[in-house]
Chains A and B, each alone.
Chain A
Amino acid sequence: MGLQVKDVVLELGDGDQKITALDHVSFGIAAGELLAVLGPSGAGKSSLLAVCGGLRHPTSGTVVIGDKELTAMHDSQLTRLRLKSIGFVFQQSNLISSLTSLDQLMLMVHLGGHRPTKADRDHAMSLLRSVDMAHRANRLPDQLSGGERQRIGIARALMTKPSLLLVDEPTSMLDRVRGRQIVELLSEQCHQHQVAAVMVTHDRSMLDAADRSLHIVDGRIQEAAVSATN
C-alpha cells in the first residue's frame, strides 16, 4: 500500500508561458505515514497534490497508489479512484453550503451510488466524534468556525476509508493553536486508520507532527532536506 511517485515531471501552460511545475520528483510513503511537504509559494506543492490525486496528468513519470497506476487511467477511472481510495482535505475547508456536517460525510456514500445504510450513518457519526464534532452534526457550514469546518473536512476525507490522504495547507486559515490541533488530529487519524498522507504546509512548526518532511523549491525536491523529523 501507500504512494509511490517516480520521476514525475509536470509542465504547465504553453509557449513562452510554459513552466515546469514539477521537475523529476520521486518519493514514496507507506500506509500510516504522514509526509509533510514544505516549500515557498509557487514551488509546486499544490501541483504535487494534484498529480497524486489524479486531478492532473503528469507530463511524464508515474504515480502508483496501492497497486493502481494513475498515469494509465482515463478521467472517469480517476474520478472513481478518487472516490474510493483518496481523501482530500483542502486549504479552505471547502464544504458544500447546503449540507449539514453529517450530510457532508453522507454525500460521499451518495456519490458512490449507494443508499446510505445505518452502518454508513454510524460510521459518519463515529468520524465526527473522533474529530470532536458530533455536537455540530446538524449545523450548516456557515454556522461553523474555520477550525470546525477544517475538522469536518478531515472527517469527510476519511469517510470512504481511503488509502491515501492528500492535505493542502490545512492550517492557513487558522491561528497557531487551532492549526496545531488540526495537524495533530491529522497525524493521529492517519496513524489510527493506517492511511498514507501527504500534507502541504507553510509552517515549519508543524513539522514535528509529521513522520517525514520534504522540501520543494521550483518544482524540485531539495535532496538535503528530505529528512525524518522524529
Chain B
Amino acid sequence: MFLALRDLAFAKGRFLLMSMIIALVAFLMTLLSGLASGLIKNNISGLMALDVTHLAFEYNDRPNYRNSMVEREMWEGWRDAEGVLAVEPLGHTLFTARTPEGLPLDDVVLWGVEPGSFLEPEVTFGESLKGPDDGVIISALLANKHDVKLGDMIVLDRVLTKLTVIGITDEQNIGHVPVIYTPMRKWQEATYGPPGGPAPGESLPDILFDYASVIALKLTPDADIESVDIEWGTVTMDKQLAYEASLGYKEEVQTVQMIQGFMVVISALVIGAFFTIWTIQRTQEIGLVKALGGSSAYLLRDTMAQALILMLLAVGIGTFFAVWLGLSLEESGKPFMLVRDNIAGSSGLLIVAGLIGSMVSVRLIARIDPIIALGRTR
C-alpha cells in the first residue's frame, strides 16, 4: 500500500483522468440499472403484484396473454388437482379507452377478476370490487397520466362498455399498459358480448361466462404440473416465465443487460489498458524494487490495492451522481426506478471487472527482471 498510495499522489493527473472515465462508466451503469428496473416496473408491475406462483395458458406453442382462452372446466379441473392451493380465472383484454367526453385515454388492459378473490388488488384510494356493475379499480399510471379520478367514467372503444372508477391501486401495468381491474362478469361482457351490452330486456347467454384468458394458480412445490397440463390442455409457467409472456419484456431486459454487459467488458479493457501502460512506464522502477529485495507478491498486492482504490473512488463518485440524477428522474414519472440491490450489483460488477482488468499487469510485473536495475541507461 505504501508505494501504491505514493504513486497515486505522485501521478495525480493520470489517475484522475482514469477515475473520470471509470466514474462515467459507473454513472451510465447506474442509470442503466435504474432504467432496467424502471422498464420492468413499467412493463409488468401488474404481473409482479399478482399473488400467484404460476399462470396456466391455453395450450399453444407460443402462449401469451392475448392468444390464450381458457374454459370453466379447465380451471375447475385445476381446482381439483393435487398441490393446488388456490385457482382463479383471469381475463385479459386490450382496449383503447376514452372519457365520456371522448378524450382519449390510450391503451388499457382490462383484467377480469372475481371480486373478493386473491387476485383483487389492494386499493390506495377508494374501495374494492363488489358486484359486476359497481365499478373498477385502475392502475395509478392511468390515474396520474390522464388525471382519472374516483367516480370518473371510462368508455371502452368498440364495445362501448362503460366503467366507473371506484378504486385506485399502485402502478400496475402489463406490457407498459395500465391495468383496469374489472369484475369477472363485466369483463366477460365487454370481451365476448355485443357492443353496448345486451339489448334492453334481454340477457346475455350463459355460455359467455364460462371463458377467461388464463388461470391464476397458487401451487405447492410438489404439484404435478405436467400431468394436469396434459389433462386440461393448458401450459403452465412459473411467475418468472410468465413475465416473459408479456409483450416486449424479454427484449427490453435483454437489451439493457446487453448494454450493461458491454460496459462491464469495456471497463475491464480500459482498466487493463491503463494498468498495462502504467506498468510498462514503471518497468524500470519495478525492476529496481525487485533488485532492492521487493518480492513480486509485494508489487502485485500493491498494484491490486491501487486498482481497488481507484475503482472504489471512481465507481463511488459515478454512482453517487447517477443516484442523484435518478432521484429526480424517478420523481418526474419516467420509467426509472432506483433499486438498491441492483445498483450495488452493477457497481460491484464494475469493480470486479476493473480488478480483473488490472490483473493483466500481474504477468507484466512477474516478468520484469531485476537485472535492469543495473542497466547503464534506461
By a beta-carbon cutoff of 8 Å, the part of chain A in contact with chain B is 46, 49-50, 53, 55-56, 76, 79-84, 86, 88, 90-92, 94, 96-99, 103, 106-108, 110-113, 140, 156, 160, 168
Chain A residues lying within 8 Å of B10, measured Cβ to Cβ, are 97-98, 140
Chain B, residue nearest A168 (CB): B374
Q: State whether A80 and B9 are in contact (beta carbons under 8 Å apart), knowing that A91-B376, A98-B3, A110-B3 are contacts in the complex.
A: no
Task: Report Cα–Cα, A80/B377, bound state, in Å.
Answer: 26
Chain B, residue nearest A159 (CB): B292
Our pick among B2, B291, B298, B374 for the contact of A82 (Cβ within 8 Å) is B291
Chain B residues lying within 8 Å of A113, measured Cβ to Cβ, are 298
CB pair A98 B293 closer than 8 Å: no
Q: Is B86 engaged at the interface, CB distance under 8 Å to the other chain?
A: no
Chain B, residue nearest A84 (CB): B293
Q: Is B147 engaged at the interface, CB distance under 8 Å to the other chain?
A: no
By a beta-carbon cutoff of 8 Å, the part of chain B in contact with chain A is 2-3, 6-7, 9-11, 284-285, 288-295, 298, 370-371, 373-374, 376-378
Q: State whether A98 and B290 are in contact (beta carbons under 8 Å apart), knowing that A55-B371, A56-B371 are contacts in the complex.
A: no
* Nearest 4 Cβ contacts at the A-B interface: A83-B293, A98-B10, A82-B293, A110-B2
A/B interface sample: 15 pairs, CB < 8 A = A55-B371, A55-B373, A56-B371, A79-B295, A79-B370, A88-B291, A90-B288, A90-B374, A92-B378, A94-B284, A98-B7, A99-B6, A108-B292, A113-B298, A156-B292
Name the residue in B292, B298, B371 with the highest tally of chain A Cβ atoms < 10 Å from its Cβ.
B292
Q: Other than the known A80-B295, A103-B2, A140-B10, what 9 A-B pairs have Cβ atoms closer than 8 Å? A: A55-B374, A80-B293, A94-B288, A96-B289, A106-B2, A107-B2, A108-B293, A110-B3, A111-B289
CB pair B293 A79 closer than 8 Å: yes
CB pair B292 A88 closer than 8 Å: yes
Q: B288 CB to closest chain A CB, in angstroms?
A: 5
Task: Report Cα–Cα, A56/B371, bound state, in Å.
Answer: 8
Task: Report Cα–Cα, A55/B368, bound state, in Å.
Answer: 12
Chain A residues lying within 8 Å of B293, measured Cβ to Cβ, are 79-84, 86, 108, 111-112, 160
Chain B residues lying within 8 Å of A49, measured Cβ to Cβ, are 374
Chain B, residue nearest A162 (CB): B293
CB pair A111 B373 closer than 8 Å: no
Q: A154 CB to closest chain B CB, in angstroms?
A: 13
CB pair A107 B374 closer than 8 Å: no
Q: A162 CB to closest chain B CB, in angstroms?
A: 10
